[in-house]
Structure 1
Amino acid sequence: MDWKGRRQSDNIEDERGSSPMDGGSGGGPFGGGGMGFPGGGMRRGGGLSISTIIILVVIFLVLKAMGVDVIGLLQQSGALDGGPGYQQSDSSGGNAPPANDEMKQFVATVLADTEDTWTGIFKSMGQTYTDPKLVLFSGRFPSACGTASAATGPFYCPSDKKVYLDMAFFQQMKDQFGASGDFAQAYVIAHEVGHHVQDLLGILPKFNQARQNMSEVDANKMSVRIELQADCFAGIWGKFTQQKGILQEGDLEEALNAAQQIGDDTLQKRSQGYVVPDSFNHGTSAQRVKWFKQGFQSGKLSDCDTLNNPV
């Protein structure tokens, strides 16, 4: 993907290096959030019970009375560092990412390209496209849909109109799932922006309201349709990108491979050796490939109606 030297979006909120915090309140993401990797989906806080805290305090006091430096031991073990991939930041911002961070530039360029694509499409429909914000974080970070963490994967939160992305996810795609390449990474961003498009079109609010009265199985089935439409919207963006002449040989194959690797059936076979179709909430590999290709070949919103057509 020939992305260097192109316009970069100003709608990036770089929170890497910020202190991790507990998640805020607000409505949850559309259907579990993220690209559907194991461990994905928003988690609601949790925390320790009062009895557990009391027990820990007693243990701390006993160890302290015995002369054990508990705080020192925790610092040496890294238990106070905020988890893997988290860097504590000081007031001077010493651990903040460099301003010339190439991956940030890549994400900002892809986001800008989605802005241009969807602004044009919405204008052709007589509507106005409102850009989403994209939050870069590392470790854990609060969103209006709960605490974002590396385990959730990228997701769109309709409550604050923001996409959340820990770029360590791209390395996980490559190492754990065999989905590498810059256009595969761009597909992830375009998919989440696709959920923002659904939000602006009123599709997401209707789904979030309807799912309140659905069984888990029915909600999963509807979530699959929502996810596949976001894949189709990502394909539409891909077509407009191709028309600009910035795709390189093998780029389309990278995106299709990523769609293949993150299908519910493929992920379940890899993680547990068997599949449970009623638990699918993002779509099978074949479905995800099909709908990305549908958007890529057509470039039309009308051809992405996964809600009223067989998937």
Structure 2
Amino acid sequence: MKWRGRRGSGNVDDRRSMGRAGAGGVGVVGVLAILAVGYFFGIDISPIVQGLEQGGQQSERPLTEAEEQYGEFVSVVLADTEEIWGEVLQEQAGITYAEPRLVLFSGAVQSACGGASAAMGPFYCPGDQQVYLDTDFFDMMGQRMGAGGDFAYAYVIAHEIGHHVQNLTGVLEQVNALRGRLGEQDANAVSVLTELQADCFAGLWARHAQDRFGSLEEGDLNEAMTAAAAVGDDAIQASAGRTPMPDSFTHGSSQQRQEWLMRGFRSGELAQCDTFAEAGLE
């Protein structure tokens, strides 16, 4: 992905220098593996992580060279989303795009949605219209999931920005109201539709970013497709030694996530990302 030397966003709030210093006796890689389970199964395992981190102290620290580079990368990708969605949302939906802030944190963070640890993975909080990301997640993608690469990481950011677009269009409000009236299985199905639409929005962004900036290089789409497959509920459950249970899926299968990502990329149109209508929901 061509991103170096390009404009960065002014909407990045980097709090990583205030991250938790220790990770107990398990080590960073061990903690990341545990965090992945919490993120992909939708379980808050903060108490477990806190137990592993006993003795860790909250203190200021200098960022590593790799962290500095991740920060620059995130800033450029966020700037790209601002330019693309600022145009696309107005032209295709008649909605003015409100730029979100992206908070980089290390270990734990406070948001309008409550306190969260890295166990939650990257997330979007509609309460403050901010995306929260621990850049250690990128390392985990490459080292533990075989889904590394700049464009794979950009897909993660674009997916969370997709949730912000859903918030601006009123989708998240409708989804939350609907889920409150449903049983667990049906609520999971609605969650899957929500996540697949965010994947489609990520693909839509990638299409327009390529058209405007020419940012994609050979192999970039494969990186994103590999990442989408790696975060499928079936792939995650299978890698954990479990038989995939579709009724428990909350993000969609690997195939679904890849299909909707590419649907957004091929079409570049919001109307083609209506997962709810395709499922018979209006």
Q: TM bucket by the smaller chain? A: 0.7 to 0.9
Asked if structure 1 preserves the Cα contact closer than 8 Å seen for 2:12 and 2:103, the reply is yes
Asked if structure 1 preserves the Cα contact closer than 8 Å seen for 2:210 and 2:216, the reply is yes
Alignment correspondent of 1:246: 215
From the CA coordinates, give the structure whose radius of gyration is larger.
1
Q: Structure 1 residue 114 and structure 2 residue 76: aligned? A: no
**In 1, Cα distance between equivalents of 2:165 and 2:115:** 23
Asked if structure 2 preserves the Cα contact closer than 8 Å seen for 1:44 and 1:146, the reply is no
**In 1, Cα distance between equivalents of 2:15 and 2:43:** 19
Residue 232 of structure 1 aligns to a residue whose secondary structure is: helix
Q: Structure 1 residue 198 and structure 2 residue 169: aligned? A: no
Residue 270 of structure 1 and its aligned partner are, at CA, apart by 0.6
Alignment correspondent of 1:8: 8
Q: Structure 1 residue 160 and structure 2 residue 123: aligned? A: no
Residue 213 of structure 1 aligns to a residue whose secondary structure is: coil
* Cα deviation code 1:219-278 (max 9, x no counterpart): 100000000000000000010122121111100100001001110001000102311111
Q: TM-score, normalised by structure 2?
A: 0.86
**In 1, Cα distance between equivalents of 2:101 and 2:43:** 18
Residue 211 of structure 1 and its aligned partner are, at CA, apart by 1.0
- For structure 1, the residue ranges without an aligned partner over 5 or more in a row are 21-35, 48-76, 90-94
Equivalenced residues, count: 258
**Amino acid paired to 1:285:** S
Asked if structure 2 preserves the Cα contact closer than 8 Å seen for 1:37 and 1:262, the reply is no
Residue 106 of structure 1 and its aligned partner are, at CA, apart by 0.2
**In 2, Cα distance between equivalents of 1:222 and 1:3:** 35
Asked if structure 2 preserves the Cα contact closer than 8 Å seen for 1:229 and 1:306, the reply is yes
**In 2, Cα distance between equivalents of 1:19 and 1:187:** 24
**In 2, Cα distance between equivalents of 1:167 and 1:112:** 17
Residue 114 of structure 1 aligns to a residue whose secondary structure is: helix
Residue 141 of structure 1 aligns to a residue whose secondary structure is: strand
**In 2, Cα distance between equivalents of 1:180 and 1:43:** 24
**In 2, Cα distance between equivalents of 1:182 and 1:260:** 16
Q: TM-score, normalised by structure 1?
A: 0.78
Asked if structure 2 preserves the Cα contact closer than 8 Å seen for 1:149 and 1:166, the reply is no
Residue 141 of structure 1 and its aligned partner are, at CA, apart by 1.1
**In 1, Cα distance between equivalents of 2:244 and 2:17:** 38
Higher RCO, 1 or 2 (CA under 8 Å, sep at least 6)? Answer: 1
**In 2, Cα distance between equivalents of 1:46 and 1:104:** 28
**In 1, Cα distance between equivalents of 2:146 and 2:258:** 16
Moved over 2 A (4+): 17-20, 41-47, 77-80, 96-100
**Amino acid paired to 2:59:** Q
Task: Identify the match of residue 204 of structure 2 among 212, 233, 236.
Answer: 236
Residue 39 of structure 1 aligns to a residue whose secondary structure is: helix
- For structure 2, the residue ranges without an aligned partner over 5 or more in a row are 21-34
Alignment correspondent of 2:44: 43
**Amino acid paired to 1:81:** G
**In 2, Cα distance between equivalents of 1:202 and 1:310:** 18
RMSD: 2.3
Asked if structure 2 preserves the Cα contact closer than 8 Å seen for 1:12 and 1:133, the reply is yes
Asked if structure 2 preserves the Cα contact closer than 8 Å seen for 1:13 and 1:136, the reply is yes
* Cα deviation code 1:277-303 (max 9, x no counterpart): 111000000000000000000000000
Residue 255 of structure 1 aligns to a residue whose secondary structure is: helix
**Equivalent runs, 1:26-105 vs 2, <5 Å:** 37-40=36-39, 41=42, 43=44, 79-82=54-57, 88-89=59-60, 95-97=61-63, 101-105=68-72
Alignment correspondent of 2:272: 303
Residue 38 of structure 1 and its aligned partner are, at CA, apart by 2.1
Residue 18 of structure 1 and its aligned partner are, at CA, apart by 2.2
- Taking every aligned residue pair, what percent have the same amino acid on both sides? 48
Q: Structure 1 residue 171 and structure 2 residue 139: aligned? A: yes
Task: Identify the match of residue 139 of structure 1 among 107, 118, 121.
Answer: 107
Asked if structure 2 preserves the Cα contact closer than 8 Å seen for 1:194 and 1:233, the reply is yes
**Amino acid paired to 2:173:** P
Structure with the bigger percentage of helix:
2
